[in-house]
Amino acid sequence: MQSSLSVVLCTHNPRPDYLNRAINALRAQTVPLTDWEFLMVDNASDEPLSDSWDLSWHPAGRHVRENDLGLTAARLRAIKEASGDLVIFVDDDNVLAPDFLEQARSISARYPYLGAFGAGKLEPEFEVPPPPELLSRLHLLAVGSVSSVLWSNNAQDGACIPWGAGLCVTRRVMESYCRLLQELAVKEVIDRRGDQLFCGGDDLFSWASVSAGVGFGLFPDLRVTHLILARRLNQRYFIRLIQAHSFSHGVLRYLLTGLKQQRINPLRYVRLFLHGMKNGWFSMQCQLAASRGEDCAARFISERKLRPMQVSQMRFVPSAAS
């Protein structure tokens, strides 16, 4: 039997033209509207979205307001509200290919041993061309592609971890994710929270899959266009993003694997200076931001007196599968 579908669009103060494109892509899906549920989770937007966005075009569409700011809080509310056995998370800057829901439903039926999977084709559409110095770091904006199906049930197999844009999660793994978040007790430093660029929440769905005894993967048949604002394409934004990325992942890495971050020492500054002499000022700033994030993670872990969890990583499975 094919799983019932829920599509969840989490948003906070969305850009109207981007949100409109995301919604129009959902309206254009090949799966009939009667076959899936649609929830728009308004995550503490300054102006309630229910006042300005009409969802009457969808027979099972409704607004949900979540006042606890942060993507993690929005996702938790969505999990509580959604009724589908398979939930597809969409951001307000994601344009799904017309057959995305059809492909997701098919993949869920063909790969019952996967609990979380996502787009293998996440193509960017830039508001302005990215400057040359950012080209090697664009993966931090959740863009990329794979040429074949990749899956694993090794929680540290980073090549197979699905991005949050178009993330598909089974009910079993959503329940595991909620338990894992509760045990971690650090949801305030996971995923975007207003102007804070915390991250790592997408990875947790893969860990939750492993904890639930299933795998996770990427599928090139799932295609998303990621709309990227001009304000995200500058050096300052990337330096902030790199530091937040290093911090969040440092905390999660310790809790999930026991690998603790090291505090910055004078020798590291010397190495950073030498790196800058060789690779340029911006590259040095990026390295420094990563080091500062690790330092903040080590301090956060110490101040909170955090201890590693015992999370099963299961046996390794080759990352390529038909």
Please tell me the predicted confidence (pLDDT) of residue 317: 44
Q: How far apart are CA 104 and CA 165, in angstroms?
A: 13
Please tell me the predicted confidence (pLDDT) of residue 128: 98
Structure tokens at 271: 């190495």
Phi-psi region of 188 (alpha: psi -120 to 50; beta: other; left: phi over 0): alpha
Q: Provide the residue range defining the domain that includes 221.
A: 5-232
The enclosing domain of 14 has a CATH number of: 3.90.550.10
Task: Tell me whether strands 94-96 and 215-228 are parallel, antiparallel or unpaired.
Answer: antiparallel
Q: Are residues 228 and 239 in the same domain?
A: no
Q: Are residues 101 and 85 in the same domain?
A: yes
E-only strand ranges, the chain? 5-11, 36-43, 61-66, 86-91, 94-96, 114-126, 144-145, 150-152, 167-170, 215-228
Q: Are 118 and 144 in contact (CB under 8 A)?
A: no
Q: Are 314 and 207 in contact (CB under 8 A)?
A: no
Residue-wise pLDDT for 169-209, tens only, equals 999 999 999 999 999 989 889 888 888 999 999 999 999 99
Question: Would you place residue 270 in the very low, low, confident or very high pLDDT band (cuts 50, 70, 90)?
Answer: low
Structure tokens at 180: 């894992």
Please tell me the predicted confidence (pLDDT) of residue 265: 66
Q: Are residues 243 and 161 in the same domain?
A: no
Q: Which has more confidence, 10 or 3?
A: 10
Q: Are 97 and 223 in contact (CB under 8 A)?
A: yes
Residue-wise pLDDT for 207-224, tens only, equals 999 999 999 999 999 999
User: What angle separates helix 201-211 from helix 71-81, to the nearest 10 degrees?
Assistant: 40
Q: Are residues 20 and 167 in the same domain?
A: yes
- Vertex 44, ends 92 and 22: CA angle to 5°? 10
Q: Are residues 40 and 106 in the same domain?
A: yes
Task: Tell me whether strands 36-43 and 144-145 are parallel, antiparallel or unpaired.
Answer: unpaired
pTM score, whole prediction = 0.90
**pLDDT reading at 54 higher than 50:** yes
Residue-wise pLDDT for 126-176, tens only, equals 999 999 999 999 999 999 999 999 999 998 898 999 999 999 999 999 999
| Highest mean predicted confidence (pLDDT) among 96-105, 263-272, 305-314 | 96-105
Q: Are 33 and 55 in contact (CB under 8 A)?
A: no
CA dihedral (105, 202, 79, 9) positive or negative: negative
Q: Are residues 202 and 286 in the same domain?
A: no
Q: Are residues 253 and 222 in the same domain?
A: no
Q: Are residues 43 and 20 in the same domain?
A: yes
Rounded CA Rg of the chain: 20
Q: Are 210 and 314 in contact (CB under 8 A)?
A: yes
In a domain, 175, yes or no: yes
CA dihedral (279, 283, 285, 291) positive or negative: negative
- What is the domain count for the chain? 2
Please tell me the predicted confidence (pLDDT) of residue 90: 97
In a domain, 313, yes or no: no
Phi-psi region of 258 (alpha: psi -120 to 50; beta: other; left: phi over 0): left
Q: Are residues 217 and 260 in the same domain?
A: no
Question: Would you place residue 314 in the very low, low, confident or very high pLDDT band (cuts 50, 70, 90)?
Answer: very low
Q: What distance lies between CA 285 and its chain's CA centroid?
A: 25
